[in-house]
């Protein structure tokens, strides 16, 4: 039993079962015991590995994406480069190294802002990004106004999801209860039906939404619509909304029971890209995608970048470059499950690598 488990069991005994979103929120962000307050679990030796930790090309290409967007914004003299959930700072370090070389004017305009909940990861970011003198924030809302390019890789999957479940034809809130010394899922109070066509899902179906994710997408989009710029959101999830319980827990690269060790395992859920796009459009931005990660990286020139790296590589480095490309773009690796969504000021051209939104096509 984890310390957070003890607290949650007491809380459930006193006040009743916890909605799934609240359980997830406590497990990840409880001020004392939350996974993202205490663990620095990214990387080969940690709980999970992410795209920037697989290959430097990922961050480099995103840096150049940001530089191209900045040019379409009219190359403002100062631009907020904002990263949500920067982890160990690897993506941003690779991005900044690339922009310093290839886009020095953009590089000189950057004012770096990092949104990070984890004090230990903030220390890692401070080491990795010292030269860029970043500013840290607890939430996007405190990033100062002004033209912005926003990046978020595997940030939205860490935000709490709400689940509803259909039982006997009725939709009910899915909750976490505590019985006989164990946490268990249960059906709570009545909930309103999900959007069509999911409202007709059969009994037993679980439907997820992320009010927290939609609120962040809306906050970013309001800002972009007001002061200009674009955001690139990369994460894993389906291209279209569907039913299913995607809450999962990972510890030491293994899937574990999400209810077994509250606070010690990373909890995530698939990102509802359609929901983020809807929230973004509702707040005045244009939304592009989602596009498979493999397609985006291919269009941003990963093959050419790999070829350049291979020119001066040792045999071991060459194997790493090839393996990195494969893992990032192949459909049976990260290439298809991971997707990219862009949100942008409606007057900006289509962001690099994306297609025009359906509504604008001739």
Ligand X SMILES: C[S@@+](CC[C@H](N)C(=O)[O-])C[C@H]1O[C@@H](n2cnc3c(N)ncnc32)[C@H](O)[C@@H]1O
Binding residue for ligand X, selected from 117, 265, 271, 321, defined by CB under 6 A: 117
Instruction: Give the residue, chosen from 47, 50, 129, 191, that forms a contact with ligand X under the rule CB under 6 A.
Output: 50
Binding ligand X (rule: CB under 6 A), the pick from 4, 91, 95, 259 is 91
Stretch in the footprint of ligand X (CB under 6 A) among 3-11, 82-90, 222-230, 245-253: 82-90
Which residues pair with residue 149 across a beta bridge?
A: 81, 230
Is the previous residue joined to 197 through a cis bond, with omega within 30 degrees of 0? yes
Give the total of residues touching ligand X (CB under 6 A).
19
C-alpha to C-alpha distance for 59 and 227, rounded to whole angstroms: 25
Binding range to ligand X, per CB under 6 A, among 74-82, 151-159, 192-200, 223-231 = 151-159
- Residue 9 CB, nearest approach to ligand X (Å): 24
Of the ranges 65-73, 116-124, 189-197, 219-227, which one interacts with ligand X (CB under 6 A)? 116-124
Cβ 302 to ligand X shortest distance, Å: 16
Residue 302 to residue 295: CA distance in whole angstroms = 10
How far apart are alpha carbons 307 and 102 in whole angstroms?
17
Nearer to ligand X, 54 or 69 (CB): 54
Choice between 51 and 187, CB closer to ligand X: 51
Smallest separation (angstroms) from ligand X to the CB of 30:
12
Site stretch for ligand X (CB under 6 A), options 48-56, 236-244, 314-322, 337-345: 48-56
What's the min distance (Å) between Cβ of 26 and ligand X?
12
Q: Which two tokens stand for residue 334?
A: 């990260």
In the complex, what is the shortest distance from the CB of residue 69 to ligand X, in angstroms, rounded to a whole number? Answer: 19
155 binds ligand X, rule: CB under 6 A: yes
**SS3 of 343, please?**
strand
Considering beta carbons, is residue 152 or 191 the nearer one to ligand X? 152
Task: Tell me whether residue 72 or residue 246 sits nearer to ligand X (CB atom).
Answer: 246
Neighbouring C-alpha atoms within 13 Å toward the C-beta of 359: 6
Q: Which of 27, 54, 158, 279 binds ligand X (CB under 6 A)?
A: 158
Yes or no: say if 132 and 211 are a contact pair by the CB < 8 Å rule.
no
- 53 binds ligand X per the rule CB under 6 A: yes
Is 47 one of the binding residues for ligand X (CB under 6 A)? Answer: no
Separation CA 275–CA 282 (nearest Å)? 10
Asked if 153 touches ligand X (CB under 6 A), the answer is yes
Is 149 a binding residue for ligand X by CB under 6 A? The answer is no
Q: How many CA atoms lie within 13 A of 213 on its CB side?
A: 28
Residue closer to ligand X by CB (options 5, 52) is: 52
3-state DSSP assignment of residue 20: helix
Is the CB of 195 or the CB of 255 nearer to ligand X? Answer: 255
Three-state secondary structure call for residue 58? helix
Q: Can residue 18 be called a binding residue for ligand X (CB under 6 A)?
A: no
DSSP sequence for 116-135: ---HHHHHHHHHHTGGG--E
Q: Is the peptide bond before 290 cis (omega within 30 degrees of 0)?
A: yes
Residue 165's closest CA among 109, 123, 206, 222?
206
* Contacts (Cβ under 8 Å, ≥6 apart) of 67: 99, 102, 103, 106, 107
121 binds ligand X per the rule CB under 6 A: yes
Nearer to ligand X, 154 or 286 (CB): 154
Q: Kindly give, in sequence order, each residue whose CB lies less than 8 Å from that of residue 187, ignoring residues fewer than 6 positions away.
A: 165, 167, 172, 173, 174, 175
Interface with ligand X by CB under 6 A: which residues?
Answer: 29, 36, 42, 50, 52-53, 85-87, 91, 115-118, 121, 153-155, 158
């Amino acid at each position: 039993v984890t310390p957070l488990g003890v607290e949650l069991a007491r809380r459930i005994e006193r006040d009743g079962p916890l909605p799934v979103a609240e359980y997830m929120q406590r497990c990840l962000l409880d001020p004392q015991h939350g996974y993202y307050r205490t663990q620095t679990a990214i990387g080969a030796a940690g709980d999970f590995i992410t795209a920037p930790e697989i290959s430097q090309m990922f961050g480099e290409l995103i840096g150049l994406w940001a530089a191209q967007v900045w040019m379409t914004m009219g190359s403002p003299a100062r631009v907020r480069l904002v990263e949500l959930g920067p982890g160990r700072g690897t993506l941003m370090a690779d991005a900044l190294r690339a922009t310093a070389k290839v886009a020095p004017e953009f590089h000189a305009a950057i004012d770096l802002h990092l949104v990070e909940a984890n004090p230990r990861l903030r220390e890692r970011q401070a080491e990795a990004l010292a030269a860029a003198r970043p500013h840290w924030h607890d939430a996007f809302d405190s990033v100062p106004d002004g033209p912005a390019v926003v990046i978020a890789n595997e940030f939205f999957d860490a935000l709490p999801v709400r689940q509803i479940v259909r039982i006997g034809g009725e939709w009910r809130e899915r909750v976490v209860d505590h019985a006989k010394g164990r946490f268990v899922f249960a059906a709570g109070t009545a909930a309103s039906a999900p959007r069509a066509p999911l409202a007709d899902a059969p009994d037993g179906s679980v439907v997820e939404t992320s009010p927290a994710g939609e609120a962040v997408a809306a906050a970013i989009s309001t800002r972009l619509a007001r002061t200009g710029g674009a955001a690139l959101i990369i994460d894993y999830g389906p291209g279209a909304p569907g039913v299913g319980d995607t809450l999962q827990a990972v510890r030491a690269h293994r899937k574990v029971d999400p209810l077994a060790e509250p606070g010690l395992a990373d909890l995530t859920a698939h990102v509802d890209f359609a929901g983020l796009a809807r929230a973004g459009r509702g707040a005045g931005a244009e939304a592009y995608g989602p596009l498979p990660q493999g397609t985006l990286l291919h269009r941003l020139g990963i093959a050419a970048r790999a070829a350049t790296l291979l020119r001066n590589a040792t045999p071991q480095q060459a194997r790493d470059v090839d393996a990195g490309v494969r893992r990032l773009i192949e459909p049976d690796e990260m290439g298809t499950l991971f997707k990219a969504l862009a949100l942008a000021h409606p007057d900006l051209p289509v962001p690099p690598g994306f297609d025009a939104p359906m509504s604008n096509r001739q």
